[in-house]
A = this chain, B = another copy of it.
Amino acid sequence: MPGLRVGLAQINVTVGDLKGNVAKILACVEEARSLAVDLLTFPELAVAGYPPEDLLLRPQFVRDNLDALDTVVKGSAGITLIVGFVDAEEDIYDAAAIIHDGHFVDVYRKQFLPNYGVFDEDRYFEPGSRCAVYEIAGVGVGVNICEDIWYPEGPAQAQAYNGAQVIVNISASPFQAEKRFFRERMLSTRASDAAAMLCYNNLVGGQDELVFDGNSMIVDPEGEIIGRARSFEEDLLVCDLNMDKVMQARLHAPRRRKERPAFSGAVPEKVRVSSKPFIAAKPPLPPHDVTPLEGVAEVYAALVVGTRDYVRKNGFEKVVIGLSGGVDSSLVAVIAVDALGAENVVGVSMPSRFSSPGSRSDAQAIAENLGIRLITIPIEEAFTAYLGMLSEPFAGTEFGIAEENLQTRVRGNILMGLSNKFGWLVLATGNKSEMATGYSTLYGDMAGGFALIRDVPKTLVYKLVEYRNARDGKPVIPQAVLDKVPSAELKPGQADTDTLPPYDVLDPILQAYVEEDKSLADLLAAGFDEETIKRVITMVDRNEYKRRQAPPGVKITPRAFGRDRRLPIANRYRGW
């Protein structure tokens, strides 16, 4: 059997940047050609960026994407490419172009369109129905897109039955913690079910709330991963596929693999692209050893990449962060420095009459450890001005939530003032536990362009800090920050637990309610206290309006607030 040298171009494209994306694609083509790659693949919608959302409703955008694909076709001399783009013919399709040696050969159109979680693909695309097998350099190749591979009786099964020895799946699969394991297990199963080589080419990089983790891989017919691209970085994974392995797997395959699959798209159709490689003599490949990231390290990397790409893709250079000396803003500052470099991060310490001396010195210590500029602006003057201006309408009332929020809104204003003056993007520092319960101030600590840890529960915030402190053997966040009792410091002696249950009780309830749709009965059965559950659920439900006005952040859990969880604001449902 002939072999096949495949290249998986795991690239970081930008939504709408058709020229930039094409340039990136052509640079990979160049590199792959120099390695005598026979078949080079790119992620889902590589030309347009993913997800383009309602740009897809603009006819001109779709036309421009077709023109951009043309440029790729023209640059494809001497190689075969599979490139994600938006196909158009009466309706539009999430498609893969099969391109060979300067010619557009054929198109595969995605058949399973996800329309759950963060996905809205039914809003835009028609599903395809054809699933041909392409003879590329003498090898049968089936092509499909992202969601298609998650169905056991999807196109891959039909393609394998119709002669595909290699299945290429181009994807844009967003990160969430632990998802990689499910994905790898599924891909192993698909490869061994199909008795084929499976090339999974994922997207990498951040796009608004989503981060794509890369982790592209090649799985052999026994379900073994024989090639890996890096986590959260661009990469070109080149690998020689041994077709004898496919032959062997098929000869030993149980009967059921040889029966015609039920899948409706399984009309046998073969398209000859090329019967032999352009370059038979292959140069040796450099070693490509990759250890994928796991656990807290993986989440940390997602936050770094999500932050870097949000800042850069939106055209910002520098960011500014309010440093309270607490654990959340400290973590945000460290991530920002890892994402953008210390020279691009500015910290602002804004002590009030209620700030503890420890908070001020901790903020200073973090800024010093990170080597970032620190601006100190006490908020007393503006706070006093507000209290004076409001003294008449507030006459006869007690110091309360209004006065507390005024302080954090003064801080929000200062950060936004610096942002407006110097063009720095404000990074908000709220975590998921706060976003869920509304333990945060609209236009105060919630103010900013990006809230990178808004999907990170408080208990995970601590783990991330511990991970980062341990990573280089040189802690950047002082132990005092981790040890202090969490407090908003907006009135004397305040602690988060005045309002919230302890975080190790709160976070599991939030996970069950927000991410898993558990009911009061479910939570009672899990052993939580009834009054606590009801209090938490009520806080979550009541604060939907705040979350609607929160800046975006990086999705890392199975269900982030935002497009992933769509609840009405006016909502009288109580589950008891």
Contact = CB atoms under 8 A, between A and B. Distances in A.
A16 B573 contact: yes
B377 A402 contact: no
A208 B402 contact: no
Given A413-B413, A414-B386, A551-B548, A572 B420 contact: no
A294 interface: no
Interface in A356-410: 375, 377-379, 381-382, 384-386, 388-390, 392-394, 397, 400-402, 405-406, 409-410
Contacts of A566: 53-54, 120, 123
A308 to B, nearest CB: 12
A57 interface: yes
B420 A567 contact: no
Contacts of A548: 551-552
A501 interface: no
Contacts of A57: 517
Interface stretch (A262-270, A309-317, A524-532): A309-317
Interface stretch (A189-197, A227-235, A442-450): A442-450
Interface string A416-431: 1110110000000000
19 contacts: A15-B570, A55-B567, A58-B517, A60-B519, A120-B123, A208-B568, A314-B545, A375-B393, A379-B389, A381-B388, A381-B389, A382-B382, A384-B385, A389-B414, A402-B421, A409-B413, A413-B413, A443-B443, A443-B447
Nearest to A311: B570
A549 B548 CA distance: 7
A42 B123 CA distance: 28
A361 to B, nearest CB: 21
Nearest to A382: B385
A569 B545 contact: no
Nearest to A443: B443
Contact of A377 (B122, B389, B574): B389
A-B pairs, top 5 by smallest CB distance, nearest first, are A16-B573, A17-B572, A402-B420, A313-B570, A60-B519
Contacts of A310: 569-570
A506 interface: no
Given A60-B521, A64-B573, 12 more contacts: A15-B571, A54-B565, A61-B573, A115-B120, A123-B566, A381-B385, A381-B389, A384-B385, A402-B417, A402-B421, A548-B551, A548-B552
